[in-house]
Amino acid sequence: MDVYLIVSVLVVLAALFGYINVRFLKLPNTIGLMLISIVFTMVIFGISYFDDTLLNAEKYILTRIDFRTVLLDIMLSFLLFAGALHTNFEKLKVQRWPVLSFATVGVLISTFLVGTGLYNILQLIGMPVDYIYCLLFGALISPTDPIAVLGILKKVGIPKKLETKIVGESLFNDGVGVVVFLTIFNISSLGNAGAVEVVMLFGQEVIGGILLGLGIGWITYRLMRTIDDYDIEVILTLAAVMGGNALAHHLHFSAPLAMVAAGLLVGNETVRNTAMSEITENYVDKFWELTDILLNTLLFVLIGMEMLVLTFDYTYMLAGALAIPLVLICRYLSLLVPVKFFSKRMGFVPNTHLIMTWGGLRGGISIALALGLTAEMERDLLLVITYFVVVFSIVVQGLTVGKLVKKQAETPEIATQE
């Protein structure tokens, strides 16, 4: 089964599952696709007791797809650029300091809180794991997933100021989270690393990625400004993502952060007004909306199918169930300091930290990072725990965040900030 056939099978499944969701379940696509994929995989498990042909076919597809590479090195750049392209740059600029604090300080605090909490929980249930590996889990589960967040918040009537914070944080903190994860990963693999090396690696990835993205965005803008041909201008944006992603990996910069920076620059109102005609703007937006929808659809079908790689052990599942409240509590605590610091001067809506805690969804990025762990890093255990948290996050939090927002919106202070 070659690559083309595998992609064809995934697209057919994604189209079929998407149809079932829109026709019958009527859930947000992110949630519906993953639920249908999980049920589909469970049905194949059941059928395998009589005929294992379908199960072997699904396993073969998963073995031929390096989920971590496909998501982190390819899909993520397209999805982040598309998300940033349609983010209101001016509103994000006003909220830049709280967003950056959530995406950096918040991720670091959450990483250590989750890692420490999981270390103690595993000790209590008789499954001791080295502290450094628990920190790895803290790093991979702390960043919220922009793909899940953007997909679900589109259908939630959330106050604009709060939407900017949640979306802005999710766009930036996954890049920061990946850098934190890789730093801890390298420390655990090499045994030790000096503080200077850690700071330099972090600075190179984060600052280098943002500067590279701004440079790519500026070049794309200048090229688009000199022509008026929507076909070529759409291709220029595509080249910016593909070429920028390859260059970022070559320079060891953060490709996710580079694509966020490039997308924000190309999509901001000034560039749109000076470099794009109305027809070009329409084609660029439609192209990236369609790309976003297609890749999202494939991604959440894959997440549902990835349950085949899990080790179904009672103690693993117990650890996963206990990790769900731990991750939520740690996110709540990690947001307290930034929210308290900025709330008065930035005019935060009441209960911002509560809504951001419940609206901070985890997704494919966390699973991709967990799949990249080695056997010595307790990969099977941490993958099961990650899967529990991600499924709960997307399904339970994703289905109820709208109700939480509506309940909070009844507060007069929030209603005035819509």
Specify the amino acid at residue 14. A
Angle between helices 398-409 and 29-47 (to 10 degrees): 150
Res 418: pLDDT: 45
Contacts of 109 (CB under 8 A, 6+ apart): 333, 334, 337
Rounded CA-CA distance 244/236 in Å is 11
Structural domain boundaries of the chain?
3-64, 68-415
- pLDDT exceeds cutoff 90 at 261: yes
Residue 1 pLDDT level (bands cut at 50, 70, 90): low
Question: Hey, is 282 helix, strand or coil?
Answer: helix
Specify the amino acid at residue 27. L
Q: Which range is least confidently modeled, 23-37, 75-89, 190-204, 360-374? A: 190-204
Rounded CA-CA distance 262/182 in Å is 23
Report percent pLDDT > 70 for the chain. Answer: 93
Q: Among residues 202, 157, 164, which one has the least CA distance to residue 180?
A: 202
3-15 average pLDDT score: 92
Rounded CA-CA distance 318/129 in Å is 15
pLDDT in tens, 118-133: 999 999 999 999 999 9
Contacts of 244 (CB under 8 A, 6+ apart): 77, 212, 213, 216, 255, 258, 259, 262
Question: Hey, is 89 helix, strand or coil?
Answer: helix
Q: Among residues 344, 385, 394, 334, which one has the least CA distance to residue 364?
A: 394
202-231 average pLDDT score: 93
Res 160: pLDDT: 75
- pLDDT exceeds cutoff 70 at 377: yes
385-414 average pLDDT score: 82
Q: Among residues 80, 83, 140, which one has the least CA distance to residue 369?
A: 140
Rounded CA-CA distance 370/364 in Å is 10
Rounded CA-CA distance 338/97 in Å is 9
Rounded CA-CA distance 406/97 in Å is 26
Cα-based distances in Å from 101 to 78, 188, 263, 322, 399: 25, 26, 20, 28, 27
Rounded CA-CA distance 165/95 in Å is 7
- pLDDT exceeds cutoff 80 at 3: yes
Q: Among residues 172, 145, 75, 41, which one has the least CA distance to residue 367?
A: 145
Rounded CA-CA distance 353/98 in Å is 12
More confident residue, 141 or 341: 141
Mean pLDDT, the chain, whole residue set: 88
More confident residue, 222 or 418: 222
Identify the residue whose tokens are 């952060």: 257
**Domain boundaries 68-415, CATH class:** mainly alpha
Query: According to DSSP H, which parts of 74-159 are helical?
Result: 76-85, 89-94, 96-101, 107-124, 131-141, 146-153
Contacts of 255 (CB under 8 A, 6+ apart): 73, 76, 77, 209, 244, 245, 248, 249
**Looking at residue 145, what DSSP letter applies?**
-
Rounded CA-CA distance 264/81 in Å is 8
Res 73: pLDDT: 87
Rounded CA-CA distance 383/311 in Å is 9
Rounded CA-CA distance 171/190 in Å is 30
pLDDT in tens, 69-108: 888 888 989 988 998 998 888 888 888 889 989 999 999 9
- pLDDT exceeds cutoff 70 at 398: yes
Cβ atoms 55, 44 nearer than 8 A = yes
Specify the amino acid at residue 229. D
Rounded CA-CA distance 71/295 in Å is 10
Res 349: pLDDT: 75
